[in-house]
Amino acid sequence: MNQLARTPNDVGNALRLARKKQKLSQQALATRSGVWQETISKIENGSPGTRLETIFDLCAALNLEMAITDRSTGSTDFLEDTL
């Protein structure tokens, strides 16, 4: 899974897609990650201010990792197509 994320909303969408791909409910992910279900819901809905450690806990539970790369240049149409 390669997902471009530049905003809290993008991160939430990426985590939601990964969770659904693995056929996990928010509650099942909460149990697996140690993150409250309510927090997962807020993250998936793009709530800003989430601690980075919480994002890493969810990534680990979903068997994901983050990669930091140079920002791509291009039109916004390209960005919308990749989300």
Sequence spans of domains, the chain? 8-78
CB 21 within 8 A of CB 59: no
Q: Token pair of 30, please?
A: 């909460």
Percent above pLDDT 70 for the chain: 88
Confidence of residue 2 (pLDDT cuts 50, 70, 90): confident
Architecture of domain 8-78: Orthogonal Bundle (1.10)
Rounded Cα distance between 27 and 31, Å, is 6
Q: What is the pTM of this model?
A: 0.83
Return the DSSP state at 47: -
Q: Residues 42-60: pLDDT tens digits?
A: 999 999 999 999 999 999 9
Cβ atoms < 10 Å from Cβ of 14: 21
Specify the pLDDT at position 80. Answer: 52
Specify the pLDDT at position 66. Answer: 92
Rounded Cα distance between 66 and 11, Å, is 10
